[in-house]
Amino acid sequence: MTELRNVEQEIDQFRVRLIVAALVVLCCFGLLLARLFTLQVIKFDELTTQAENNRIAVVPIVPNRGLIVDRNGVVLADNYSAYTLEITRSQLEDDLEQVIDQLGEVIEIQSRDRRRFKRLMGDSKSFESIPIRTKLSDEEVARFTAQRYRFPGVEIKARLFRNYPYGELGGHVLGYIGRINQREKDDMADWSDEDQANYRGTDVIGKLGIEQSYERDLHGTTGFEEVETSAGGHPVRRLRSEPATPGNTVRLSIDIKLQALIEELFGTRRGALVAIDPRNGEVLAFVSKPGFDPNLFVGGIDQDSWKELNESLDKPMLNRALRGTYPPGSTYKPFMAMAALVTGKRTAGQVIYDNGFFMFGNHRFRSHGDGGLGAVDMTRSIVQSSNVYYYGLANDMGVDLIHDQMDLYSFGRKTGIDLEGESTGDLPSTEWKRNKYKRPEQKRWYAGETISLGIGQGYNNFTMTQLASAMATLVSGGQRFEPRVVREIENVVTRERRTVSSHAVSPLDLKPEHVAVIRRAMHGVTQTGTSTRVFAGAPYQSGGKTGTAQAVGIRQNEKYNASKLADYQRDHSLYTAFAPLDEPRIALAVIVENAGFGAEAAAPIARRVLDYVISGVYPTPEDIAIVQKGHGSAPIGAGLPVASVPLPPTRAAGVDAESTAASAAASALVFPASAASAASAPASAPGPAAPPTPAGPAPAVTTAPTAPTRPFRWVPRRMPDPVPPAPVAGASRSTP
């Protein structure tokens, strides 16, 4: 059978198939060309950047943290470098605990190191390295390096550590640095891109005090290094780098030698002192006792030390000068007297009869002592500290007028000091009470509650920063400043200095004759009044006011007996002072908690501070020992020239603060004068305010020679933590 074939039809089909195949090939080549065009032209810049990023690693260079120095250039905070052993959990091949156990066979890892590591884990991500040991010795570094192949995910890094050479001295004003926690990282998310970039590679941040308030100045500018890497991520060569810029040097207005003297005068007692220059608002001393050693927080504080600090009833972590609030007691009376003159409620010569008590309805408000003072005018009411005079004055003024007058001195609100965390305290008024309490009967202001306000009791609660600032305003004739702890900031590269001036607030309109009345009355306190014995023989004229404030209330028919009360229930001892009389260069407020009569505990400390600043005299060791016991009056002995007394011994950089703490209580901050040490110590007495230092090369920073003596460390006291009863209306008591 013959097959018939249609040749033309087959040729046509072949042509169609050929055309389809050609079109498919052309489409494929078109797609390849399109992709090639996209990669080579459209995405050229993007892909080139990615390639470079894969080839080049940008490593941040963390800057050196800036120094903190006192007004004379003495270094209070610096840095040192040390090796740390760090673990990156995401890179571990074995169980974490097993790795730590194996590391312990090579390098000593104590239980406190493990606890600190576990605590830091909670604030870190798995890809972040966490130190398991800090401050490794050269021998330990060599031992680990020889066996590094056994520990993937573990490496040795060189890090900078903060060092506070004087340990506890000035701890509250300096603050400390610590590892950035998750809350702080969340806060950083709201920063600008530039600020966030500046903290890449940075693990620590200021937590309290100057370290926190001036964090941006102290941190510096982060640098970077571009490193070419291999396919395995290993560095091959450095392409370019930009060095980090160290943080600025922050110079304080505080004199560290004066600070050391005041802290030594307190001894183991609790309290606070703030001294301010009324002419410019500079803070000369800022003391809170007990304190803490900021070195404990460098690298992460261990659990035992944190528990000891955090759970102690003495609350060493509480900045009493900034956040502790207390009734001002009789130190409030000069302000009440000025308010009376301004409002016309009293004249300086108006006489009030003090019979020893003040009756308001059925309530008997007692004065100090068993009898009255008789006829008293305004001057005698301050010199002899008449309670009856100010009971009546408070009743005549009323709570809201008192509030309006005291608000002018920053009572009940922040002073604006350049330290974060300041408390506002409580300056009562009818509106304040309505906002303070919830129940209707609590919101109402009762007339009897006004009486105690006149002697600094009742709802009055203020900080020592507020009291010192108010005293500076009063004795300067109404000139007001926001207190400043930092004097100037120096750029370490350009040596340019920026003065941090206290912000001047509009002055109060106080009449000079009214200011003169208050000054003369407070001077009388030191001559014939309640602090006469303490200021006997002073080579300068000063003013002051003693105060004794209730820690707990007593009933109307009871008498105060300190011997029958526990230590924490006894009255607080207060004193405010200024000097010289006509042109004050210093105003201060001091409180010694539960120490009783103001002239016995607080006033002797104030006298030594004024001697230091005005006369340039440092008390003798024997005199300091007596003041520490609360038995001081006028200074014993001639004292020593301030310039001849050396600075306290420093703690060597890198020395473990925890290991040195055990014997720290044996050291003292008062040292015999010696020619050798005196030569290296700067003159520390502030004296008259120095003019701002002009910009230019900075003088050499002075630092005390390192000594093996260990710093003073406060030893916590253990006692029950009672809840004191609320004060009883009409039971206010204030001792001069």
Please tell me whether residue 187 adopts helix, strand or coil conformation: helix
**Amino acid identity, position 52:** E
Please tell me whether residue 465 adopts helix, strand or coil conformation: helix
Neighbours of 635 (CB within 10 A): 24
Residue 128 tokens, joined: 């972040």
Q: Is 647 within 8 Å of 74 (Cβ atoms)?
A: yes
Question: Of the candidates 428, 438, 440, 522, which has an alpha carbon nearest to the alpha carbon of residue 475?
Answer: 522
Q: What does the alpha-carbon distance between residue 296 and residue 269 come to, in Å, rounded to a whole number?
A: 22
N residues, the chain:
736
Residue 402 tokens, joined: 């008192």
Q: Is 335 within 8 Å of 409 (Cβ atoms)?
A: yes
- Between the alpha carbon of residue 418 and those of residues 274, 708, 733, the distances in Å are 14, 34, 35
> How many C-alpha atoms does 273 have within 13 Å on its Cβ side?
37
**Cβ-defined contacts of 614-622 (< 8 Å, 24+):** 614/540, 614/542, 614/579, 614/580, 614/585, 614/586, 615/539, 615/540, 616/641, 616/642, 616/643, 616/685, 616/687, 617/641, 617/642, 618/261, 618/642, 618/644, 618/645, 619/261, 621/668, 621/670, 621/672
Q: Is 436 within 8 Å of 427 (Cβ atoms)?
A: no
Residue that is written with structure tokens 């001849």 in the block: 644
**Amino acid identity, position 674:** S
Q: What does the alpha-carbon distance between residue 118 and residue 132 come to, in Å, rounded to a whole number?
A: 9
Question: Of the candidates 460, 471, 581, which has an alpha carbon nearest to the alpha carbon of residue 520?
Answer: 581
356 Cβ contact list (under 8 Å, min separation 6): 366, 367, 369, 370, 371, 372, 373, 388
Q: Give residue 534's region: left, alpha or beta (phi > 0; psi -120 to 50).
A: alpha
- For β-strands 249-252 and 68-69, DSSP reports them as parallel
Q: What does the alpha-carbon distance between residue 483 and residue 589 come to, in Å, rounded to a whole number?
A: 14
Residue that is written with structure tokens 């003019």 in the block: 691
Q: What does the alpha-carbon distance between residue 401 and residue 408 come to, in Å, rounded to a whole number?
A: 12
> How many C-alpha atoms does 479 have within 13 Å on its Cβ side?
18
What DSSP state is assigned to residue 229?
E
Please tell me whether residue 524 adopts helix, strand or coil conformation: helix
Torsion of CA 55, 56, 59, 60, to 10 degrees: -140
Terminus-to-terminus CA distance in the chain, angstroms?
142
- Looking at 330, 381, 476, 734, which residue is catalytic? 330
Widest pairwise Cα distance in the chain: 155
* Annotation marks residue 330 as catalytic: yes
Edge-to-edge strands, sheet with 235-242: 56-61, 223-229, 235-242
Q: What is the 3-state secondary structure (H, E, C) of 468-510?
A: HHHHHHHHCCCCEECCECEEEEECCCCCCEEECCCCEECCCCC
DSSP H or E segment with residue 98: helix 96-104
Q: Give residue 361's region: left, alpha or beta (phi > 0; psi -120 to 50).
A: left
Residues designated catalytic: 330
